[in-house]
A and B are shown apart, each in its own frame.
Chain A
Amino acid sequence: MPTLQPEWPNNKIEEFKYTNLAKLSALELKVGRSELRHSPKLDGVTVSALPPALDMPVTPLTQRALASYDNGWLIEATGESTAPLELDLFAGEYTSSAPRVAIKLAANTKLMVFESAFAGASCLTNQLWQIELAEGAQLCHIRLQCSSGDATHLATSKVTVGRNAQYKLLTLNTGAALSRYEPHITLAAPGADASLTAINLLTGTQHGDVTSFMHHQSPQGSSRQMVRSVLAGHARGVYQGKIMVAPDAQKTSAQQSSKALLLSSGAEMNTKPELEIFADDVTCSHGATTGTIDRMALYYLKARGIPEAQARALLVSGFIAEALDSVTHDSLRLRLEQQVAQFMERTL
């Protein structure tokens, strides 16, 4: 049964200036039903059917997803698990899906989630994630977006970080023709800490967008955002990072850094930092650079016997090393490094 859906946002809407989704209206896809595969149950973690609605920010993507919900899950952590919970959300090929996932961590619990963000051949997915961390909880969220090359992967998350809680997010975007990840993170109570690390590895005509909203609502919160984009072919990377510091959020520390490495003259990076600071005792910094392969470094590696392609791969791995270093879990890190290696093979 067709439902009336809001239009896809076009580039006249400021938040979609670099990512025009209007062309998605032309897609003719059947409505899919999402499924979730997950690793065997961990102690202190439950996965169940999602209760009715999520409380998401109102955006063009969430409005559209709310009108086309197909399936959902609730993941609750009530203990401390050392093994990662692996989540693999998927729908059939040539489908459009809009799943929802809620993750709730009770006070002082600890969880690591490895999310395989995948959209299959010609699929479009528009996901909603709501993540809540109660006091003292710690969530390490590693996300690998490696969708099919012709897929569209859209996801919005609303993350609420409680008192002295810690949310660590790393997203590696290397798949999909078009992707947009929109985390809205709120440091809701004193001492909350959040970090967002995004690595974009894009080639061909891929378009990858990370648009973040970091709301500092309480005092003594700290946040760090690190975006590293490696763009080849005619790929286009987008990073829009908004930091909002509320009047009460004194002693806030918020950092943001975006660096892009363009491997070809056809690649393009669009970076837009936005800072809205209403408190006076804060430390905020942001920086953005875009560059190409350092010719002297390339020469140096070759002058030590390393062939061109291998030398370039080494420099690219060096460029994103700082970002990958935040993944301390060995086997997960290896999986991400394999993605990096595959990207190099595709592009260099």
Chain B
Amino acid sequence: MTLLKIDTLSAKFDGKDILNGLSLAIPAGEVHAIMGPNGSGKSTLGYVLSGRDGYEVTGGTATLMGQDLFALEIEERVAAGLFLALQYPVEIPGVSNMNFLRTAFNAVRKARGEPELEAAPFLKHVRSKAAILGIADDMLKRPVNVGFSGGEKKRMEMLQLLLLEPKMVILDETDSGLDIDALKVVADAVNSLRAPDRSFIVITHYQRLLDYITPDHVHVLAKGKIIKSGGPELAKELEATGYANIAA
């Protein structure tokens, strides 16, 4: 079954064409890596699918399990099963992680027609997930991402992922700014979530993350479209030869 289907997608940001007829189909249960040089449209793809303001779809379609993503609000896409882990998670002073996580968790539950959790059972639930990621209780009490290191921010992204149980996960350069230990935590979380009904798009500039998350397919993005696809060996090839040869 195809989980996510992107068909000749074009999009603009700030008046410039960034995506130019991008097509991609992600079957359920697979991990796809999207690699490409800076400015190729990697992050734009994530933002367009997620629905961020300012990114204008000018052509094409994207469906998640048959649902037209572009007909949905940002939060409805999340309830439908989409999750975009950001390259730079946002700091929100004054809002504790616990409050944020519970609000998000219950909003998504409600939208999916599932029962919401009261504070006490939610605390128990979030602690069990936090333990998997080595996130201490005091981090949950602190304001969202405020004063967190790059690694801590990405751990919190993974915690959100574990709680919201998406079907289609997009990791946008999740490896940027991470040391090797943090990288392993993120990779372990992703690997533990691999399931027959869940898929991942791993957007990355470097091969490094793919040493820990082995993709089923690798795609090269240049000038807003997929120019080459292959198996995991394509990532290694890119690492050796650079993007210039392929993009040319």
When the two chains form their complex, are residues A297 and B94 in contact, meaning their CB atoms are under 8 A apart? Answer: no
When the two chains form their complex, are residues A318 and B164 in contact, meaning their CB atoms are under 8 A apart? Answer: no
When the two chains form their complex, are residues B50 and A305 in contact, meaning their CB atoms are under 8 A apart? Answer: no
- B91 / chain A contacts, CB cutoff of 8 Å: 297
- B164 / chain A contacts, CB cutoff of 8 Å: 304-305
> Please, what's the 1-or-0 string for A297-338, where 1 marks a CB less than 8 Å from any CB in chain B?
101111111111011001101111110000000000000000
- B73 / chain A contacts, CB cutoff of 8 Å: 302, 307-308
Known contacts A317-B94, A318-B95; A302 and B86 CB within 8 A of each other: no
In whole angstroms, how far apart are the Cα atoms of A306 and B77 in the complex?
11
> Please, what's the 1-or-0 string for B62-76, where 1 marks a CB less than 8 Å from any CB in chain A?
000000000001110
> Please, what's the 1-or-0 string for B52-94, where 1 marks a CB less than 8 Å from any CB in chain A?
1100000000000000000001110011000010100111111
Known contacts A296-B90, A300-B86, A315-B95; A305 and B79 CB within 8 A of each other: yes
- B90 / chain A contacts, CB cutoff of 8 Å: 294, 296-297, 299-300
When the two chains form their complex, are residues B74 and A299 in contact, meaning their CB atoms are under 8 A apart? Answer: yes
In whole angstroms, how far apart are the Cα atoms of A317 and B52 in the complex?
23
In whole angstroms, how far apart are the Cα atoms of A322 and B146 in the complex?
14
Q: Is B148 an interface residue (CB 8 A)?
A: no
When the two chains form their complex, are residues B52 and A299 in contact, meaning their CB atoms are under 8 A apart? Answer: yes
- A301 / chain B contacts, CB cutoff of 8 Å: 92, 100, 103-104
Instruction: Contacts A297-B92, A299-B53, A315-B95 known; list 14 others, CB within 8 Å.
Output: A295-B53, A299-B74, A301-B92, A302-B75, A302-B78, A305-B78, A305-B108, A306-B103, A307-B107, A310-B103, A314-B103, A318-B93, A319-B93, A321-B95
Residues of B within 8 A of A (CB): 50-53, 73-75, 78-79, 84, 86, 89-95, 99-100, 103-104, 107-108, 111, 143, 160, 164
What are 28 residue pairs bridging A and B, where the CB atoms are less than 8 Å apart in the complex? A296-B90, A297-B90, A297-B91, A300-B90, A301-B100, A301-B103, A302-B51, A302-B78, A303-B52, A303-B75, A304-B104, A304-B164, A305-B108, A305-B111, A306-B107, A308-B73, A311-B75, A314-B95, A314-B100, A314-B103, A315-B95, A317-B95, A318-B143, A319-B93, A321-B94, A321-B143, A322-B93, A322-B94
